[in-house]
Amino acid sequence: MKKQWLIIPLILLATNINAQDAVGGVEEDGTATNEIVTTEEVATNEMGTTEGVATNEMVVDVATTNVSATNMYVETVGYTITNGDTIYASPLARFEVQGLDEQSGLQEILVSVDGGEYATYKQPISFTKEGKHSLSYQFIDKVGNISYSETFSIDVDATPARVLEIVLDPTAYHAAGTIYVGPYTDISFKAYDDMTGVAFIEYKTSDMEEMSHYAETTTFAALGYTNTSLLRLEYKVTDMVSNVSPVKSQIIMVDATAPVVNVFAKAVEIEEVRYISSRDTIFVEASDSETKIANIMYALNDNDFLNYDAQIGINIRESGEYTVRAKAVDMVGNESEEVSYTVSVDMVAPTGDVAFVGEAKSDEYEALTPTEVTEEPATEEEPATEEVVAPVATPETVVAPEVPAGTEVDVVTE
């Protein structure tokens, strides 16, 4: 007597049916070594035990079990994947056992779950607890022949990806629970799944209606945020057997506004020329309405920009006309326009003369009081500073009156 047993768990049947369809799905660049096969229609259940069971099983042949977010390739996933001889399944996967007897006919299928007692198979079997499971089965025909038992193993992945993070480059500026980014900050995601790997990440901003597959690094500007705006970014990750993480969300402020810069000094303006002395400091102030100032820079005339130190300011020790150029960068990298400020450094002290007042009738004369009209000699040293750009003139040249007050001087006649 010759008996043929056809033992075909449906999940394996699906692999064979669709193996050819999968070939075209391989990426040309070779990074996607894995293939996905979807089964639109479940093979007919000859046992007639399916009662509207929506079995939509997919088989993915994975080379490695862990797929990082950087080489994702899958757009949809099912409830199982195979990796070599191992079948990974989500708790939603259902396993059907089919048998065929060509002579007397199949009487019964016996199944044993996780090494338990054999019992009559009635309906597809699923495994809810994470970890290794086994499913053994035997067939009995109508005249009492019993097949050898077969067993296959299933690893159940019931856990969504363990890691899911937004990666912002440059690193965001955090303040008061909000994170601030620039419009050209790079957005990417990091995810990791322990057992079956990450299939795909989806995200949406508050202005997007639906979640979109994350495919590659993008920017807020690319998502339409070129102006300063507040948004919520939502994202989730799906593993290779359809376990979906909870949706995470983050409020993000896109700061697209550059700082405002102002240059000033205690100057005297005469006929549209600003004059300062060599002892006057030029200051730069900058403010940012969204974040903070990260850096202020200044340049004298055509020189290169230097970092501005608010404690020191800008001190020019040589006479002449100077143009200070200044700009500032905020915490998310927005750079202001350049602001220019032109000054004339006046280092020449006034001079004075003495002249008679009234007629020269006596030997008496009045001296114009030179102490009031001449520049005071510097009484204290200028603070030593590294910010001095112009070379320091040899000890400050103050033209002090040669004639102390009260001293007799020669009469000048003109």
Tell me how crowded residue 372 is: count the other CB atoms within 10 A of its CB.
8
The residue within the footprint of Ca ion, chosen from 157, 191, 286, 389 (CB under 5 A), is: 157
Which residue type does 412 have?
Answer: V
155 binds Ca ion (CB under 5 A): no
Q: CB of 75: closest distance to Ca ion in angstroms?
A: 18
Q: Is the Cβ of residue 32 or residue 260 nearer to Ca ion in the bound state?
A: 260
Answer yes or no: are the C-beta atoms of 32 and 70 closer than 8 Å.
Answer: no
Q: CB of 231: closest distance to Ca ion in angstroms?
A: 16
Burial 330-355 (b: 16+ CB within 10 A, else e): bbbbbebeebebebebbbebeebebe
Q: Which of these segments, 4-12, 252-260, 357-365, 366-374, binds Ca ion (CB under 5 A)?
A: 252-260
Q: Is the Cβ of residue 138 or residue 245 nearer to Ca ion in the bound state?
A: 245
Residue numbers 273-302 binding Ca ion by CB under 5 A: 288, 290
What is the 3 state secondary structure string of 90-123?
A: CCCCCECCCCCECCCCEEEEEEEECCCCCEECCC
The residue within the footprint of Ca ion, chosen from 33, 159, 218, 281 (CB under 5 A), is: 159
CA dist 297 → 258, 287, 344, 385 (Å): 14, 13, 21, 17
**How far is residue 233's CA from residue 224's CA, in Å, rounded to a whole number?**
13
Q: Is the Cβ of residue 78 or residue 99 nearer to Ca ion in the bound state?
A: 78
Residue numbers 324-343 binding Ca ion by CB under 5 A: 330, 334
Q: Is the Cβ of residue 159 or residue 188 nearer to Ca ion in the bound state?
A: 159
Answer yes or no: are the C-beta atoms of 84 and 39 closer than 8 Å.
Answer: no
Contact string 106-145 vs Ca ion (x = CB under 5 A):
----------------------------------------
The residue within the footprint of Ca ion, chosen from 255, 283, 322, 347 (CB under 5 A), is: 255
Please name the helix (run of DSSP H) or strand (run of DSSP E) that holds residue 294, with its range, or none: strand 293-300
* Cα four-point dihedral sign 67, 69, 74, 80: positive
218 binds Ca ion (CB under 5 A): no
239 binds Ca ion (CB under 5 A): yes
Question: How many residues in the shown chain lie near Ca ion by CB under 5 A?
Answer: 12
In angstroms, how far is the first alpha carbon of the chain from the final one?
149
Residues that bind Ca ion (CB under 5 A): 157, 159, 193, 195, 239, 243, 255, 257, 288, 290, 330, 334
